Structures are given as C-alpha cells and as structure tokens.
C-alpha cells in the first residue's frame, strides 16, 4: 500500500509556468532547457514488466522517447535508440542510463527521412539483440509557422517524411521480423483532435498517425502483433523551445491544462510500458490520450 505521506497534489508536482526564455535551433538539446525536464532519470522505478524484451525507440535521445527508453530499460528490456547525429550528446546520456540497468543498449545515429536508414535501424537492432519485440515510433518534427503562406514545400515535405513516411517505412521493415506477442506503439498528439493553426503540417501528420495506427492494427493482429497510439497533450520537451512554439507560448507552456502546468516526460512513460507489456494483451487499435485533462475525440 502506498504511504500516504508520499502523496502529492499533481497540480504542484512539477514546475509551473511562466518559464524563462530559452529559444534553441532545431532539433535542440535537453541540457539547454530550464527547468530541466524529468525523463525519469531519478524518478522512474521499474518492476521487470519487460524483462527479456528487445525494443527500438526513435527519437530516444530526448523528450518522450528518452523517458520511454529509461522506463523500458528499468523494466528489463534491451533498448536501441535512434536519433539525429546532432543530438549525440543527449543520446550518450541515455545510453549510459540504459546500460546502468544491466541491459543491452544500441545507439543509432541517422535521419529517419531516409527510407534505407529505417530498414538499417531494424536490421541492426535485430543483429544486436537477436530480435525485435517492441517498436516505438516517436521521432517527430514540429516547427510552427504563423500563417499558411509561410508553410513552404520543403517544410511540409520534411514534416511529412519525419512524422509519417518514417512510420510507414519502419513498420514495413519491422513487422516481418516481429514475433506474435510483439507491440508497435506510435506517438500521435492532441493536435490530431484539436489542431493549432500555427502547426498545420504537424497536426496533419498527427491525424494521419491516428488513422494509420488504427488501420495497421487490423493487419498486424493477424500476426499476433498489437498496434496502439499514445496521444500526448502539452509535454515539457525540447521540441517546444527549438521552434515548436513561439517564444511567448513556450514561456506559458502548459498553463492552459487542467493542471496549470505541462506534463513531464516521465508522466507519460508508464502508458508506453503498459502498451508494450503483456498486461495490455487485449488492447489494439486504440489511442491513449495523456492530455492534462483535455481529452481526445
């Protein structure tokens, strides 16, 4: 039974805005964020729910992907993380945290917009771990633009390839090597349901992820593979100050949530753990909202 003295008002459990100015160039680095996000480095406790599993997580260097990588390792899984070469310093920290749990790690630096790289990531993970049981498609591109005229073709193309094409390429490469009982988890967003005008391309991809996930789940279950999506609301990740939101919105990020603050990455990691585990054996084709009270649908 939980010690009642450890209970805490969730509205005040983590920092509340306003936050300091902290603009970064994309894709940004965790170490430059103030306040520092909590990815579970010191707060996540594992219980062996993924012992012996082999996972590949894209965007595993920071934000939600970093929190998922830490939680999976502490639940006993071998973990491969994919990230951009410019994010090497963040990724190195995550690799150390994974290895501290006595499980195998694999660092995969590359660009998910390259179709061949997606195939390579899967192949290298299988080679390093002897198989692949969990695929978390999490890498994302979010760059705000004030109006429609500012959304260039190159912008749209980069967002589509990072958020949607890579999802398709990864699933195509991974599904043939994943055994029955495996799980694929995609990362959607509340933006699929309540799109922001300044995130037109990003919101479009997140709506596509929801639809793709539901459709793929119908195919995958014929192989005994479950496919689900997680739809975050406002989470304090490096995606926001590195061009994901205007400066004034970063300063007050999450203030509109029911909690009056943004979520911390560690607060969403347990949902990924559940969806990857045997406890979710009757769950597929679902979208799990973690939105700070906004709901989805």
Q: What positions carry a catalytic annotation?
A: 202
Q: What is the DSSP secondary structure assignment for residue 127, as one 8-state letter?
A: H
Note whether 81 and 106 are within 8 A (CB).
Answer: yes
Residue owning tokens 């695929």: 135
Q: How far apart are CA 155 and CA 122, in angstroms?
A: 27
User: Strands 134-137 and 183-187: what pairing?
Assistant: parallel
Q: How far apart are CA 263 and CA 11, in angstroms?
A: 10
Residue owning tokens 């012996």: 52
Phi, psi (deg, nearest 5) at residue 196: -90, 140
Phi, psi (deg, nearest 5) at residue 54: -125, 120
Note whether 140 and 187 are within 8 A (CB).
Answer: yes
Give Cβ neighbours of residue 167 (< 8 Å, ≥ 6 apart): 137, 186, 209, 212
User: Strands 287-290 and 226-232: what pairing?
Assistant: parallel
Note whether 66 and 83 are within 8 A (CB).
Answer: no
Q: What share of the chain is helix, strand, coil (3-state, %, to 5)?
A: 45, 15, 40
């Amino acid at each position: 039974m939980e010690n009642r003295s450890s209970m805490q008002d969730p509205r005040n459990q983590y920092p509340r805005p306003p936050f300091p100015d902290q603009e970064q160039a994309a894709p940004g680095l965790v170490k430059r964020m103030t306040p520092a996000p909590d990815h579970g480095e010191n707060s996540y406790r594992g219980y062996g729910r993924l012992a012996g599993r082999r996972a590949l997580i894209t965007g595993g260097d920071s934000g939600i992907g970093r929190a998922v990588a830490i939680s999976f390792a502490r639940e006993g899984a071998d973990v491969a993380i994919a990230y951009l070469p410019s994010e090497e310093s963040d990724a190195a920290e995550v690799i150390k945290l994974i290895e501290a749990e006595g499980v195998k790690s694999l660092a995969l630096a590359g660009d998910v917009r390259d179709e061949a790289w997606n195939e390579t990531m899967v192949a290298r993970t299988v080679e390093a771990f002897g198989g692949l049981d969990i695929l978390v498609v999490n890498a994302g591109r979010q760059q705000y633009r004030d109006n429609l005229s500012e959304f260039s073709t190159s912008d749209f193309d980069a967002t589509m390839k990072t958020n949607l094409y890579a999802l398709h390429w990864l699933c195509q490469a991974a599904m043939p090597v994943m055994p029955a009982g495996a799980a694929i988890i995609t990362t959607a967003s509340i933006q699929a349901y309540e799109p922001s005008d300044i995130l037109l391309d990003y919101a479009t991809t997140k709506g596509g992820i929801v639809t793709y996930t539901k459709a793929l789940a119908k195919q995958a279950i014929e192989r005994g593979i479950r496919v689900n999506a997680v739809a975050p609301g406002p989470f304090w990740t490096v995606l926001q100050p590195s061009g994901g939101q205007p400066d004034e919105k970063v300063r007050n990020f999450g203030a509109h949530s029911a909690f009056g603050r943004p979520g911390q990455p560690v607060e969403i990691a347990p949902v990924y753990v559940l969806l990857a585990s045997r406890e979710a054996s009757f769950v597929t084709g679902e979208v799990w909202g973690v939105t700070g009270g906004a709901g989805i649908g």
